[in-house]
């Protein structure tokens, strides 16, 4: 017998509350948190009577999922499941953000959830229904009166359409700048200010220069990033790659690392790219659960070979740089 | 008192330096970025999804295109993370390799086409800032990052495809 529970947003969290009741078809409580089943997933499974599953290392068919638990700081993952209308619980306090922000709504998504935010539902709220297909963007078909319209009207409509698309593109762009680019610039500037003002830069230079300053060091760096237990941990949002990128850039600017090393460094700090996102990315490509089971290790192990190889190729190409 | 004043000055200097850096980023990068991203977004909207789907389905049959043109185009048109939905045109055994190939291009593309992954620009921009600080232009770095990126995703696609087939046989 499955029990319904109410999941509310935690302190600083957003969205919800969701009421989750597993059914015979949809009984999986799935944890997509970079491997393993986290505590909250276990608690939800225990309370509802559903089955906890690890969605990172094993593929779970989407039509069996009652609720999915993620830990996404606001890049890609937090929008993927809401877009598919699968109830989503985020352990982090993220609100609607990322490229899929518009799909993150209060009726399908709740964040900042801790075990104390779970309670048995008293039946007063409706159960959050998973799998209601998202509203297709209704395409307004030009009605059948074409041919009768004068050329002037047709040209007018076409121009209007193009202008509308450009205007929408501008709106999306400004949204992107405000939501993603400016916050990251603020964050980077704080780090750089502190590094330059405190002399911390000299210490970092001593740590980074031997690794990012020569070919052997960079091959080692890329190999470390590609180790299958490390890559899913340092992957999310490319935050670590971006911070290291800024630090290496600072050292190039200061003359501690040769500018030609910029190209191989770009690959050395990024061998883990998307290593945390394999099951979600595969699910976006409509892969079968068996494919996901095989695909996660295939991608992660491939990186141990191709990560260092990419550095060598980039190093060879760097001789084409004019500096 | 003197020491306190010194400490306060030292403290506020950290944020003055940070502020200068922020000002440089905002005025140096954002204007061009906004115009470029707007243009490309509009272009993509004008081309339309259906034409892209047809083209992608055609590309998926050949391995050379599957791990070069297909991931590059999907990243350019659909951006991170929706680019991975193009995996649906492929047979199951090729899906992990396509994902690996596509995701590995989500940073090399940002040197030339920042719209594709505007949330993660600083992998490239961070390092590129060092080159700018030395007074060099970024053109060569951005183009080589793109080209080497294509070579790397092709190799990554092939290696991951082999490993996927190997692991599938073992099960």
Q: What is the pLDDT of residue B95?
A: 92
Tell me if A117 sits within 8 A of A10, measured CB to CB.
yes
Nearest to A298 among B46, B96, B152 (CB): B96
Tell me if A118 sits within 8 A of A47, measured CB to CB.
yes
Best residue in A78, A179, A274 for a mutation probing chain B (most B CBs within 10 Å): A274
Residue with tokens 């999941």: A7
Summarised one tens digit per residue, pLDDT across range B106-148 is 999 999 998 888 888 889 999 999 999 999 999 999 999 999 9
Q: What is the pLDDT of residue A149?
A: 67
Q: What is the pLDDT of residue A134?
A: 46
Cis peptide before A17 (omega within 30 of 0): yes
Mean pLDDT, residues A260-267: 93
- Determine contact: A178 vs chain B, CB below 8 A: no
Return the residue of B nearest to A238 by Cα.
B120
Listed range (A71-75, A105-109, A238-242, B51-55) with the worst mean pLDDT: A71-75
Listed range (A35-44, A86-95, A124-133) with the worst mean pLDDT: A124-133
Q: How far is CA B103 from CA A309, B124, B153, in A?
A: 17, 15, 9
Q: What is the DSSP string of A178-195?
A: IIIIHHHHHHHHHHHHHH
Nearest to A172 among B41, B93, B134 (CB): B41
| C-alpha span between A159 and B140 (Å, rounded) | 37
Q: Residue A288 has which token pair?
A: 């079968």
Kindly report the three-state secondary structure assignment for every residue of A234-268: HCHHHHHHHHHHHHHHHHHHCCCCCHHHHHHHHHH
Specify which of A148-152, A168-172, A245-249, B108-112 reaches the highest per-range mean pLDDT: B108-112
Summarised one tens digit per residue, pLDDT across range A65-93 is 888 888 877 666 778 888 888 888 888 87
Summarised one tens digit per residue, pLDDT across range B9-23 is 999 998 998 999 899
Summarised one tens digit per residue, pLDDT across range A266-302 is 999 999 898 888 888 888 888 888 888 899 999 999 9
R_g of chain B computed on alpha carbons: 21
DSSP designation for A145: T
**% of chain A with per-residue pLDDT over 70:** 91
Whether residue A150 is predicted with pLDDT greater than 60 in this model: the reply is yes
Mean pLDDT, residues B76-93: 85
Cis peptide before B124 (omega within 30 of 0): no
Return the residue of B nearest to A198 by Cα.
B14
Dihedral angle sign, alpha carbons of residues B87, B89, B92, B98: negative
Return the residue of A nearest to B126 by Cα.
A246
Mean pLDDT, residues A164-180: 85
Q: What is the pLDDT of residue A205?
A: 74
Beta strands in A134-236 (DSSP E): none
Return the residue of A nearest to B9 by Cα.
A197
Q: What is the pLDDT of residue A143?
A: 44
Residue with tokens 């937090």: A78
Give me the interface pTM, i.e. the ipTM.
0.86
Strands A28-32 and A18-20, bridge-based pairing: unpaired
What residues contact A8, with CB distance under 8 A and at least 6 apart?
A16, A17, A110, A113, A117, A119
Strand order in the sheet with A118-120: A18-20, A5-7, A118-120
| Residue A197 to chain B, least CA–CA distance (Å) | 5
What residues contact A117, with CB distance under 8 A and at least 6 apart?
A7, A8, A9, A10, A13
Return the bridge partners of A68, or none.
Answer: A30, A88
Listed range (A147-151, A178-182, A245-249, B129-133) with the worst mean pLDDT: A147-151
Nearest to A281 among B30, B84, B125 (CB): B84
Q: What is the pLDDT of residue B164?
A: 94
CB-CB neighbors (< 8 A) of A166 in chain B: 38, 42
Q: What is the pLDDT of residue A237?
A: 72
Tell me if B96 sits within 8 A of A298, measured CB to CB.
yes
Q: What is the pLDDT of residue A145?
A: 46
Mean pLDDT, residues B27-55: 83
CB-CB neighbors (< 8 A) of A313 in chain B: 148, 151-152, 155
The closest alpha carbon to B136, from A322, A318, A219, belongs to A322
Greater pLDDT, A148 or A186: A186
| C-alpha span between A118 and B104 (Å, rounded) | 38
Whether residue A142 is predicted with pLDDT greater than 50 in this model: the reply is no
Q: What is the pLDDT of residue B149?
A: 96
Tell me if A261 sits within 8 A of A318, measured CB to CB.
yes
| C-alpha span between B155 and B150 (Å, rounded) | 9
Nearest to A242 among B80, B122, B166 (CB): B122
Residues 30-69 of A with CB under 8 A from B: none
pLDDT confidence tier of residue A18, bands split at 50, 70 and 90? confident
Instruction: Tell me the pLDDT of chain A averaged across its residues.
Output: 82
Strands A5-7 and A18-20, bridge-based pairing: antiparallel
CB-CB neighbors (< 8 A) of B29 in chain A: 185
Summarised one tens digit per residue, pLDDT across range A106-128 is 888 888 888 888 888 777 777 77
Whether residue B50 is predicted with pLDDT greater than 60 in this model: the reply is yes
| Residue B123 to chain A, least CA–CA distance (Å) | 4
Q: What is the pLDDT of residue A74?
A: 65
Q: Do A246 and B42 touch (CB under 8 A)?
A: no
The closest alpha carbon to A88, from A114, A63, A107, belongs to A107
CB-CB neighbors (< 8 A) of B46 in chain A: 162, 165
CB-CB neighbors (< 8 A) of A267 in chain B: 148, 152
Q: Is A72 a catalytic residue?
A: yes
Mean pLDDT, residues A230-238: 79
The closest alpha carbon to A69, from A43, A42, A49, A41, belongs to A41
Instruction: Tell me the pLDDT of chain B averaged across its residues.
Output: 89
Nearest to A320 among B15, B144, B164 (CB): B144
Q: Do B127 and A265 touch (CB under 8 A)?
A: yes
CB-CB neighbors (< 8 A) of B118 in chain A: 176-177, 180-181
Q: Under the phi-then-psi rule, with left for phi > 0, alpha for psi from -120 to 50, and beta for the rest, what region is B147?
A: alpha
């Amino acid at each position: 017998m499955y029990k319904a529970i109410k999941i509310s947003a935690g302190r600083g969290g957003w969205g919800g509350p969701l009421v989750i009741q597993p059914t015979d078809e949809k009984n999986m409580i799935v944890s997509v948190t970079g491997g393993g089943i986290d505590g909250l997933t276990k608690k939800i499974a225990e309370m509802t009577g559903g089955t906890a599953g690890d969605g990172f290392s094993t593929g779970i068919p989407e039509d069996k999922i009652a609720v999915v638990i993620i830990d996404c700081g606001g890049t890609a993952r937090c929008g993927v499941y809401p877009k598919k209308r699968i109830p989503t619980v985020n352990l982090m306090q993220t609100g609607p953000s990322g490229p899929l922000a518009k799909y993150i709504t209060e009726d399908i998504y709740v964040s900042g959830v801790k075990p104390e935010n779970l309670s048995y539902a008293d039946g007063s709220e409706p159960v959050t229904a998973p799998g209601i297909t998202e509203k297709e963007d209704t395409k307004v078909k030009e009605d059948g009166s074409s041919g009768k319209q004068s050329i002037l009207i047709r040209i007018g409509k076409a121009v209007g359409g193009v202008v509308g698309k450009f205007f929408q593109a501008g709106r999306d762009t400004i949204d992107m700048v405000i939501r993603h680019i400016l916050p990251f610039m603020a964050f980077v500037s704080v780090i750089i200010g502190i590094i330059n003002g405190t002399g911390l830069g000299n210490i970092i230079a001593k740590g980074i220069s031997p690794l990012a300053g020569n070919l052997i060091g960079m091959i080692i760096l890329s190999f470390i990033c590609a180790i299958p237990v490390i890559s899913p941990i340092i992957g999310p949002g490319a935050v670590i790659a971006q911070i290291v990128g800024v630090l290496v850039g600072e050292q190039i600017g200061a003359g501690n690392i040769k500018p030609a090393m910029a190209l191989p460094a770009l690959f050395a700090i990024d061998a883990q790219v998307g290593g945390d996102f394999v099951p979600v990315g595969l699910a976006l490509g409509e892969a079968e659960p068996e494919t996901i089971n095989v695909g996660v290790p295939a991608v992660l192990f491939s990186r141990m070979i191709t990560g260092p190889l990419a550095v060598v190729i980039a190093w060879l190409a760097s001789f084409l740089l004019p500096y | 008192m003197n020491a306190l004043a010194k400490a306060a000055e030292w403290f506020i200097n950290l944020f003055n330096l940070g502020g200068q850096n922020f000002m440089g980023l905002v005025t140096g990068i954002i204007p061009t970025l906004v115009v470029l991203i707007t243009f490309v977004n509009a272009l993509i909207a004008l081309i339309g999804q259906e034409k892209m789907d047809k083209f992608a389905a055609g590309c998926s049959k050949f391995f050379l295109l599957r791990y070069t043109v297909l991931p590059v185009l999907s990243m350019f048109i659909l951006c991170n993370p929706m680019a991975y939905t193009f995996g649906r045109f492929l047979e199951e055994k090729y899906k992990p390799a396509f994902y690996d190939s596509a995701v590995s291009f989500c940073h090399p593309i940002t040197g030339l086409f920042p719209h594709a992954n505007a949330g993660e620009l600083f992998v490239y921009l961070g390092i590129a800032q060092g080159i700018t600080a030395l007074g060099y232009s970024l053109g060569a770095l951005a183009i080589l990052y793109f080209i080497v990126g294509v070579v790397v995703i092709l190799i990554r696609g092939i290696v991951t495809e082999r490993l996927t087939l190997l692991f599938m046989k073992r099960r």
